Amino acid sequence: MSTLADFSITRKWPATRPDLLQLYSLPTPNGVKVSILLEELGMPYEVHKINFDSHDQTSPEFVGTFPNNKIPAIIDPNGPGGQAIALFESGAIMVYLAEKTGMFLPQDPALRYETLQWLMFQMGGIGPMFGQVGFFNIFAGKDFEDKRPLTRYVDESKRLLTVLNKHLAGKEWVAGDTYTIADMAIFPWIRNMIVRYNAEALIGWGQYPEVSRVLSHWLQRPAVQRGLLIP
């Protein structure tokens, strides 16, 4: 039977509470998706900060457990069959936790797949595109003389926001009246576009009133406010 001690990462980041779910993360848009979900679930967990400045994510201990060397990642000591399970990829982690607890992923098949559809919309579209806007607008890419990459990613980000804005009209949340993991996945990235990437003017933020409305509503949730600061 697998235990925490079977995973190399615990040699560098030992658990003080080995009975709890272990979260390895940083407060990035992808990282807070999982911490917000854990806070919404009220599930006890232990958090370990993975410091990019010291390249923690490429250490042998981290990669030995999570081969994609990305955050967030988890080890659940109480996984399927009572065995510990290690997971990376934020979307997979969110589905796992939602299914384990029976929360934030609807049981109705049609609504369930609609939720998963919008989760994948974030994973395959919003995350990669918004991240590139950040790179080319405020990080190393801002010094590139050729501005075509930034234009390309801004245009696609605007298209994605237009899709989401139209979808949210008349809805409380992405899946209608039901708050789900799709909201927890999408809105950290939208918030980041404004507060971290300084892209309000680039994307024409005023053109997306429905997105802005739901973002404001989402930011008022206490679990969101806590999760945004972890670790």
109-221: what fold? Glutathione S-transferase Yfyf (Class Pi); Chain A, domain 2 (1.20.1050)
Query: Which H or E run contains 47?
Result: strand 45-49
The reported pLDDT for the residue numbered 1 is 62
What pTM was computed for the model?
0.96
The mean pLDDT values, 10 residues at a time, for the chain of 231 residues are 88 96 97 98 98 94 97 97 96 98 97 98 98 96 94 98 98 97 98 96 98 98 97 88
Q: What contacts 231, CB < 8 A, 6 or more positions away?
A: 23, 25, 26, 27, 35, 47, 48, 49
φ, ψ of residue 185 to 5 degrees: the values are: -85, -40
The class that CATH gives domain 4-101 is alpha beta
| Diameter over CA atoms, the chain | 55
Sorted by where each begins, the domain ranges of the chain are 4-101, 109-221
Cα 156 to Cα 111: distance, rounded to the nearest angstrom: 27
